[in-house]
Amino acid sequence: MIAISELGRIDLADEEIGQERYKENELVKAKPTTGKKHRAESQTVDQEQPRSVDDLLIVAIGASAGGIEAFTDLMSSLPADTGMAFVLIQHLDPHHHSLLTELISKKTSMQAKEVTDGMTIERNHVYVIPPNATMSISNHTLHLGPREESRVAQVPIDHFMRSLAEDHGNRAIGVILSGTGSDGTLGMAEIQAQGGVTFAQDNASAKCDGMPRSAVAAGFVDYILSPKGIARELPPASGNGVQGSGKESISITHPSIPHI
């Protein structure tokens, strides 16, 4: 038989245990959700909030003689998910079918497309200008026009870069790779003026340094690097990367790049 005093102690112990369990339950309720459930909820939130096209960085890359090798070096050095879109304006023979898109597809894990009129820009894609065409951009849509027959040198790189700067402001990035002549210089000037970032291939790696040298001499290049160096330093979509010299430039800095 249990004594009355013992029963009192048992009741008191039960009450204390009950209070402790109540506190534990309240603490569990107050704790933030962790583990797989929390990660799944985070993934759901991310899926419900896709990145806006308004913050998309578009990289216009101009190239001519020797530029295909430089461009493939650049693309093969980039990760698959940069969050950016890349547009190649290569000087092409207007009278021959181009195999450039197929070549680029073998050098990058991003999807490469030859541009058709009205094509919408997407992240992590590479867009290649077709032969015998000029190209512009408006509201994230690529537009093609006929190539003008003229004795004056064609400037498709300038044409597209100016259009990109006007449409995209400081979310435009200009890159000039190997090539002869001066196409791209005025386009880089416009990108820089709108606060975008500009790169040029260095003399040591360029097979033909006419185009990058022209842009550099005019003062419209922020950074001079090899194609692989440009790939390493391109700003990621999060906004951490290099600093342009134009007005209202992308507010990002990087200490390792030689600035011009």
How far apart (Å, rounded) are the C-alpha atoms in residues 178 and 62? 8
How far apart (Å, rounded) are the C-alpha atoms in residues 20 and 157? 73
Mean pLDDT by 10 residues, the chain (260 residues): 44 46 44 41 46 82 95 94 95 85 92 97 96 94 87 87 97 97 97 96 97 98 96 68 53 42
111 with 226, same domain: the answer is yes
73 with 187, same domain: the answer is yes
The pLDDT value recorded for residue 255 is 34
137 with 222, same domain: the answer is yes
30 with 79, same domain: the answer is no
Residue 23 has a CB neighbour count (10 Å cut-off) of 10
How far apart (Å, rounded) are the C-alpha atoms in residues 66 and 44? 46
154 with 191, same domain: the answer is yes
Q: How many domains does the chain have?
A: 2
% of the chain exceeding 70 in pLDDT: 68
> Which distant-in-sequence residues (6+ apart) come within 8 Å of 29 by Cβ?
none
In a domain, 129, yes or no: yes
Range of the domain at 148: 53-233
77 with 36, same domain: the answer is no
How far apart (Å, rounded) are the C-alpha atoms in residues 153 and 146? 15
Q: Which residues are catalytic?
A: 64, 91, 183
The pLDDT value recorded for residue 45 is 39
Question: What are the tens digits of pLDDT across the range 69-98?
Answer: 999 999 999 998 999 999 999 998 877 888
pTM of the complete model: 0.74
101 with 81, same domain: the answer is yes
CATH code, domain with 59: 3.40.50.180
Is 64:92 a contact under the CB 8 Å cutoff? no
121 with 62, same domain: the answer is yes
